[in-house]
Amino acid sequence: MPFINSKVNIKILPEQETQLKTKLGKAIELIPGKSESWLMLSFEDDCKLYFKGENSCKIAYVEVKVFGAEDKVAFEKMTVAICEIYNEVLGIAPDKIYVKYETVSNWGWNGKNF
C-alpha cells in the first residue's frame, strides 16, 4: 500500500507526468514487498515552495508512505532513485529535493483495514 505524493513549484506537462508515474512505479520495487500494482500517486504542480528562503529555482517535496515496517536501507535506495527521476524528468537538482518517509501501521482499503 505505498503512496507517493509530490509537490513541485513548476508545471508538470502530461508527458512528464506519465514518465514520473512509470519511473516511480518501477522504483517502488526497491522497497521489499512493494510494487506498482498497489501504488497510488499524486502530483501537485505549481506549488508555492521555498527552499533556503528562495523560490527562484526548481524545488520538489516528495512524501513516500508505506504500510508496514521501516527499512532504512531500502529508503536510502529509494531516495537515490527519486532524486534521479525528478532530475531526469523535471530538471530538479537533487540538492533541491526533500524526501520524507512515513511508515503506517493502520491502512484501510476496500471497506476494511489491514
pLDDT in tens, 59-76: 999 999 999 989 999 999
* Residue owning grid cell 526533500: 98
d(CA 37, CA 29): 10
* Per-residue pLDDT at 1: 86
Find out whether 56 and 42 touch, Cβ atoms under 8 Å: no
The total of structural domains in the chain comes to 1
Residue 34 belongs to a domain with what CATH number? 3.30.429.10
pLDDT in tens, 23-67: 999 999 999 999 999 999 999 999 999 999 999 999 999 999 999
d(CA 46, CA 67): 29
Domain boundaries, position 85: 3-113
Whole-prediction pTM? 0.95
